[in-house]
Every structure is written in structure tokens, then in C-alpha cells.
Structure 1
Amino acid sequence: MKNNELESVRSPRGRWGQDRRLEFIDTRLAWEGRLNRSALTDFFSISIPQASLDLAKYMDLAPANMQYDPSQKTYVAQASFKPVFAEATSDRYLAELYALTLKVLSPDLSFLGATPETDVVRHPARSVPENYLRQTLSAIREQRTLQIHYQAVSHPDPSERLISPRTLGYDGARWHIRGYCHLRRAYRDFVFARILSLSLGDPSEDPVPADEAWDQELDVIIGPHPDLSEGQRRVIALDYGMTGDQLKIPTRQALVYYLLKRLGVASSVPRPAAEQQIVLLNREALVAYVPELADPSSGTGK
């Protein structure tokens, strides 16, 4: 591999030029194990001579990755193939496949090529109005305030809030704005779907404190439910990719409760193994951040 040339084609310059086509070659070799010139000409609307130049460039930079098979009239990945331009991980492939299946990503923007028949479990849509998102992004970028009319679950009537948005969060089902609420004088999460109106304001007159809960990193440690049989615990460990019957999941303090709810371990009392196959192993360490985990009889967290 020629490092100086590799760094050159990885440069952001010419993102839709040859560097992008080299990434395309890399991706098709990784997941389909083959490609020919027509794959390049069809996808990028380039000439056959240009496609030949791209393939020659790829072979020059990664000579052990592919070879031409004259019997099939196509380039095939060699056993020594290692991706050099694409992020050829299962997580990346499945995330892109997920986006293609939901039609969030158009096929003409995906390098995956032929994909298997796929479907996913649909969830109720929690839409985010484009104008709300645009103004929120502007407020974060320019450190301005947002005036929102917000419907909280805890109050029957909506209220006016002045917030200084700082970050966006996703709990696995819905997006929210995390920002400093000038009414409550604390950081709060504001679900986009509960915002009845939103307008972009001026830079905050008062200095906004740091969001310590966002900056604080925590670990959530889960394991198989102890009441499961040895064989069942082994299956659960495989399902979650556990090591030594444990899985450590890093998260932010500001998102830890959402994660615990998503895992089904946010209550103070573990549920029976028939209802919940995993348990929270570091409950005591997290009680200070999630009072809902405290045993009511102990008085902790009150």
C-alpha cells in the first residue's frame, strides 16, 4: 500500500470524484466479492475508459485485494482482501440496509449493490418537523435561544419555555432537544413531538452553565437473569455478546435512564426471569443517577 497516495484519495477534496469511486469498488468487493466496469459506469454515469482507470488505480493501491477473472469477465476479491477505503463492518452494512428498507436512503446513494430481501418491525412514527429541526440546529450552532410552546406529560396545559439548546438525543424511539431551561434553571429534555410551536431567539443574555449530566460518562452492566438455567444463561450471553456473563454498555448520565428503560431494567425490583431475561448488575452504582432504581424500603434516593 502506498501510504501517501492512499491519504490523498481519502482526502475530503473531490468527494464525488475518484476517491468516491474507489470506495465504491472497495464496498462491492467486501460484500459481493466481485464487480465489473459496468457497475461503475452505471452507478456514476462515467465512461468505460474512466472506469478502467479507476480499477487500475485501485489495483495499484491495493494489489492484494482483487484480480481479474477472464472466464467471468469480472474482478473478484482475493482471499487476502482487506478493505482500505470503506468501513466494511456488519454494523455499517446493517445500518445502511435498515435505512434502505425504510426508504430513508435512496438506492442510488448506496454502494451495497444487490441486497437480500429484508423487512423490519415498524414502530409508530415520532416525526420531527423540518422547520423545527432547522431552527434548532441554527440555535445550537449560533448559541441562540429557542422560544417553545411545550406540552409536558406532567402538566395538563402547555407552557411557554425559553431554552438554550445544546445537544440532540435519541432514546431508541424518539428524538429530543437537550437544552438549558431558563424557567427551571436546569437542563431538560424536550421531545420534538411535544413542541407545539417553536421560534428562534437571540443569544442568551445570561451565561449558560455546563451540562454536567451530558458530559458525565457512566457504565451500565447487565447479565443473564440468575434464575435462568445454565443453558438459558449461555444463550442470553450469546444474544448480547457478553463476556463472562456480563456486558458493559457505556452511556451518558443524561441518557442512562432511557437506556435502562429500553433494556427493561429501570425498576427498583428485578422482574422474574420469565418476563425479563437480563438483570442490571451495577444497580447500586447507578442509584445516585437514577432514583427509580432505589429500593423503596431502604429510603435510598429520597
Structure 2
Amino acid sequence: MSNEELADLTQPQRDRLAFVELRVRFIGEIRRQDLVSRFGIQSAAATRDLALYKDLAPGNIDYDSKGKSYVLGSDFRSVFDFPPERVLSWLTQGFGDGEPVRLKAWVACESPSRLTRPELDTLASVTRAIHQACPLRIEYHSISSGRTEREIVPFALIDNGLRWHVRAFDRKTQDFRDFVITRIKHPVVLKGATVQPHEASDQDIQWTRIVELELVPHPDQPRPEITVMDYSMQDGVLRMKLRAATAGYILRQWSVDCSPDHSLRGPEYRLWLKDSLALYGAKNAVLAPGYEAPDATQVRIEPIKANVRITSASTSKD
């Protein structure tokens, strides 16, 4: 599809075609009803949009008569140049799925840029595998093991504040792990391949367990009342519920002093974890600043389970 062909379309048409491309590329399929629901158009108009996209971008979508949906074509070539940040916002927050255009801001605003950005074709394979609940064959590069070939069963994206991971069952180690998306190469979605019950997300104890944390102003920082205001604390406490699989990432991102005696020094440590034993059993708690694992013989904490609803495309030990 050329820029001239796009320019001949109305903005609403371009937005709908961009939505078609996002759905097919990152979810793996789109139905006429998806367009109807998203844009409030009639079924006939949705049919025309799908036909138009197919004509303007041959090879990008194919019709699956069995599933009665349009699926990713074998010769897909992206038409719209979506920034990775916008795609991830759409995948995880559900907005911003129109044509990627530079809009004028209502107010001046600056936000920090990420130093790492996932490659969109790799991200697309990961999210299609998540949505379609199927394994993913990858080449993975880690600091500890170098280059390895693996099959993983991904089920969720995780943003640790610095980079994006995918939470998945790793068939190589027979364990649930976090994989950095920028370290994944040559992903292949194994559509239709069997996923065993023990590989499902509800078997991931670190994912289903919820830890309840109480954060308070750091005892060694001046003006604790300012910290209470900054974090909208109630009665001087910020109460949080986090997945055990993500707690270490978040506490590190927020520079929370997790030492039992609030011994970390520095202006960045404005918060202190009131009870470090709340992290007992959370594997990635080792990432939390100052955290020291207690002696297992001295602590006995019952695991906390929670029923979790995992969205289709809603993290690294290596």
C-alpha cells in the first residue's frame, strides 16, 4: 500500500484499516464483529473495510472459513509504522489503535524515553502465541547461558519499568520464567500444538500468589509528611497487592528500601518496606533493594493464592 493510496482514504477509513492490521499482526485474527464493536459501524461497512485492506495489502490477511475469521497471511508486510510504545499501550491498556499520526499535545509534556524497545515482529509472535494459547519456539540469548533454543508457553507480558518481559513456561528447564523480549530471536508460533496442563498459567505459583505489602516513609529521610503526600498514603501507609512474580521488579523501580533495619542510605530511598517477611517465598525478591532472605527454619508463611484473570495479551532470571 503506497502513501498515495492511503492519502486517498478518509481518516476514519485509515483508522479502521490500522485496527485491522493491529489485530491480525499482534493477536493473529480479526472478525467482522470486532470492527463493528470497536467503531460502531454496520456489518456491511466492516465487510467492505476487510475487503479494502485485503486489496490494498495483498498477502497480509487470509480468510479462515473454518474459524470464520481473517488470519495473518503468510506474506505479511506491515502497512502502518506503529511505535513500539503505542503497540504496547494498546496491548496492555486497550487504547490508541487508530492510525499512528503525530498529534498536537494539549499541554507541554516531557516523559523519559526507554533505552530498550522490543522489535515489533518479535513482539507480534509473542502476543499471538499468548492470545492463541500455543507454544513458541525461540532462540534465546542470556547472560548466563548464551544462545539456546527453547520452546516456551507464554501467557503474559510484564513491564518491569526498564524493559519488557514475557512470562512463560520453559520446556527446557521445566519451570516458569521471565524472558526479556529483546533477547528473543527467530520466534515461531506453534499454532495448534498441544499445551500440557502443568504448563498453564494457573500452575505458576509465583504468578498466582499475591503478596500484600505495606510501604511507609523511610525512617531516615527528612520530612516524612511530604512522602505521605507524594504517595497519597492513608494513615501514613501505602498498601499494595502485587504478584510474587513481579514484586521485586516494582520495589526496585521505586527504590524501596527492603532491608529489615532500613539501612540503605541515599535520597532515592524515600520508602521502606515495613515488614520484609511479606516477601518470603517470592523468588524475584532478590531484586528488591536491600532485601535479605530470612532463614527458612525461622519463618513459616502460608502461601496466598488468588484467582486471576489473564487477558489474551494483557518477566529475567536469565
Post-superposition CA distance 1:190-248 (Å, at most 9, x none): 1111113211225136432422322222223211111234xx10001111111111101
Does the CA contact (< 8 Å) of 2:214 and 2:238 recur in 1?
Answer: yes
Equivalent residue number for residue 241 of structure 2: 250
Separation in 2, partners of 1:14, 1:141 = 19
Equivalent residue number for residue 162 of structure 1: 151
Which of 160, 167, 185 lines up with 1:178 in the alignment?
167
Query: Among the aligned pairs, what percent are the same residue?
Result: 24
* CA 1:294–1:16: 2 relative to 1, 3 Å: closer
Which of 172, 183, 187 lines up with 1:194 in the alignment?
183
Post-superposition CA distance 1:92-118 (Å, at most 9, x none): xxx99xxxxxxx96356xxxx861122
Instruction: Say how many residue pairs are matched.
Output: 199
- CA shift, 1:266, in A, is 6.4
Equivalent residue number for residue 28 of structure 1: none
Which runs of structure 2 are paired with 1:80-119 in the superposition (5 Å)? 106=101, 115-119=106-110
Which of 219, 228, 239 lines up with 1:237 in the alignment?
228
Two-structure CA RMSD over aligned residues (Å): 3.1
Equivalent residue number for residue 85 of structure 2: none
Range that drifts further, 179-188 or 218-227: 218-227
Equivalent residue number for residue 142 of structure 1: 132
Separation in 1, partners of 2:128, 2:194 = 14
- 1:144 is paired with a residue of what secondary structure? coil
Does the CA contact (< 8 Å) of 1:294 and 1:300 recur in 2?
Answer: no
Separation in 1, partners of 2:245, 2:160 = 11
Letter in 1 for 2:220: D
- 1:272 is paired with a residue of what secondary structure? coil
Post-superposition CA distance 1:150-205 (Å, at most 9, x none): 111223x2111111111111112211111100111111111111113211225136
Which of 118, 122, 131 lines up with 2:121 in the alignment?
131
Does the CA contact (< 8 Å) of 2:214 and 2:275 recur in 1?
Answer: yes
Which of 281, 285, 294 lines up with 2:274 in the alignment?
281
* CA 1:117–1:294: 2 relative to 1, 3 Å: closer
Equivalent residue number for residue 212 of structure 2: 219
The runs of 4+ residues in structure 1 deviating greater than 3 Å are 12-18, 104-108, 204-207, 266-270, 293-296, 298-302
Letter in 1 for 2:168: G
2:142 equivalent to 1:152: yes
- Structure (1 or 2) with the larger CA radius of gyration: 1
Separation in 1, partners of 2:251, 2:267 = 18
Does the CA contact (< 8 Å) of 1:146 and 1:201 recur in 2?
Answer: yes
* CA 1:115–1:105: 2 relative to 1, 3 Å: farther
Range that drifts further, 246-255 or 268-277: 268-277
Separation in 1, partners of 2:292, 2:105 = 52
Question: Structure 1-normalised TM-score?
Answer: 0.57
Separation in 1, partners of 2:245, 2:37 = 39
Does the CA contact (< 8 Å) of 1:225 and 1:277 recur in 2?
Answer: yes
Post-superposition CA distance 1:269-299 (Å, at most 9, x none): 6312544121111311112214536546x64
* CA 1:193–1:248: 2 relative to 1, 3 Å: same
Separation in 2, partners of 1:142, 1:120 = 34
Letter in 2 for 1:139: A
Does the CA contact (< 8 Å) of 2:213 and 2:278 recur in 1?
Answer: no
Question: Structure 2-normalised TM-score?
Answer: 0.55
Does the CA contact (< 8 Å) of 2:256 and 2:270 recur in 1?
Answer: no
